[in-house]
Amino acid sequence: MTGFNGDTFDPVLIIGDGCSFGDSLMISCYGRIVIGRNVLGSARIFIGDSYHGYEDLERPPIHQRMATPQDVTIGDGAFLGVGCCILHGVTVGERAYIGANAVVTRDVEPWTVVAGNPARVIKRLRDPAVA
């Protein structure tokens, strides 16, 4: 159990075998984050399952409660490009490719390339129904 601004959390972080990440990886886990096997990540990646609240305009974000965590899952063999952000509630499918500086706010299907802010589908490497 860990606490922040009066709330308690029981975070679960699972990182599969064979993963490799560049420098400055930041994982903010208040709920549950699962990173599959053989995930390759570049430098300066952020993965978070919550965010600082902003409801109380009289208090700076650092003194606000964290939003309710939403699970994050990154599938086996995914690639996370330099500077990308994987946000709360997102599932990145198996062998998905996240482009540099992408901000991923929605699920990414397996075998799919996404890029941009917010991340959008650029290409499907394989039909997920066949994979």
Enter the pTM of the model. Answer: 0.91
pLDDT at 2: 66
- Phi/psi at 108 (5° precision): -115, 125
The pLDDT assigned to 3 comes to 67
The domain that holds 100 is classified in CATH as 2.160.10.10
- Count of structural domains, the chain: 1
What is the C-alpha R_g of the chain? 15
SS (H, E, C) 68-131: CCCCEEECCCCEECCCCEECCCCEECCCCEECCCCEECCCECCCEEEECCCCEEEEECCCCCCC
74 within domain boundaries: yes
**32, 37, 44, 52: which one is catalytic?**
52
pLDDT score of 22: 97
75 is a domain residue: yes
The letter for the amino acid at 120 is: R
Q: Residue 106 is encoded by which pair of tokens?
A: 């929605």
Active site residue 52: yes
Residue 64 within any structural domain of the chain: yes
Low-confidence residues of the chain: pLDDT under 70? 1-3, 5, 128-131
